Structure 1
């Protein structure tokens, strides 16, 4: 059956759809944590990250003093060049599980959406799009993990497949080790 929307309209429609999370895998981990009597966690607690430091903090040298309008224009140009205007917003991250007291953030990554090396599959249709999409997801994961670690958090990234019966003992041991229990 052919699509009733143009590609541009379909893209607009799809961009408005928001995910509801990976509820089944998160509920599986929550039940494992409860069974092991691991407490102190909250689901989907929003953490605000400070903006990333700009790459270059040294202002450009000029030979003449700037007038106030020129100073504002130079400042705006510097922000646009270094990208600090976009990073001035305080980005938020919502780990699947947060242990605030121990400063541990746990993410449960889906094998498909995050490109699990064992179980990640790629659709045959529109392969280029999916390869780029999963690469962006993985790059965002690396960035978030790095920023949280810079702020003193311990970050655990668990694959969806790590919650199976065969691997759950190993997964729970990782969580306990991160919590210092």
Structure 2
């Protein structure tokens, strides 16, 4: 078993930004001519992509870290109390950020990891087109998830 210091270093190695799913979305939207800012710290939840011109933000959520109800999420068998508390906090923080952004007049999208990988992944060009249409439109929220 690892000591707490090793466990802490391992947790620190987990990416909070520039993840593969996020990079896929960024590249596709940039190729479509959309320009954005990354991880804007002064917005609630530090959205992954911010489109000030459209007053729209996108979160690219990992299914495990944000407790998505899909095949990519399962509770770890060890340290269950720790994980339930940690992931539960993430879910609460997500809800708070979404509400604060809505109150501040931002439109928000969530792209779930399962939409981009795994056995239920969505058709990527179709998912990107849905995002582009949403960004340029006036719909308040959109969620893109695996099938």
Q: How many angstroms apart in 1 are the aligned matches of 2:85 and 2:77?
A: 14
Whether the 8 Å contact between 2:45 and 2:93 is mirrored in structure 1 is no
Whether the 8 Å contact between 2:50 and 2:56 is mirrored in structure 1 is yes
2:24 is equivalent to residue 14 of structure 1 = no
- 2:144 aligns with none
Please list, as runs of the form range in 1=range in 2, the aligned pairs for 1:70-149 lying within 5 A after superposition. 93-118=45-70, 119-149=72-102
Q: How many residues align?
A: 131
Q: How many angstroms apart in 2 are the aligned matches of 1:93 and 1:142?
A: 9
Which of 1 and 2 has greater Rg? 1
- What whole-Å deviation, never above 9, does each CA across 1:77-114 have from its counterpart, x for those lacking one? xxxxxxxxxxxxxxx54211010111111000001101
SS of the residue corresponding to residue 95 of structure 1 reads coil
SS of the residue corresponding to residue 54 of structure 2 reads coil
2:127 is equivalent to residue 171 of structure 1 = yes
Whether the 8 Å contact between 1:115 and 1:134 is mirrored in structure 2 is yes
Misfit runs of 4+, over 4 Å: none
2:45 is equivalent to residue 45 of structure 1 = no
**Among candidates 23, 26, 31, match of residue 22 of structure 2:** 26
Offset, 1:34: 3.3
Q: TM-score under structure 2 normalisation?
A: 0.74
SS of the residue corresponding to residue 101 of structure 1 reads helix
Q: TM-score under structure 1 normalisation?
A: 0.62
CA separation of 1:102 and 1:139: change in aligned 2, threshold 3 A: same
Q: How many angstroms apart in 2 are the aligned matches of 1:19 and 1:124?
A: 19
Offset, 1:170: 4.4
Structure 2 gaps of 5+ residues are 138-147
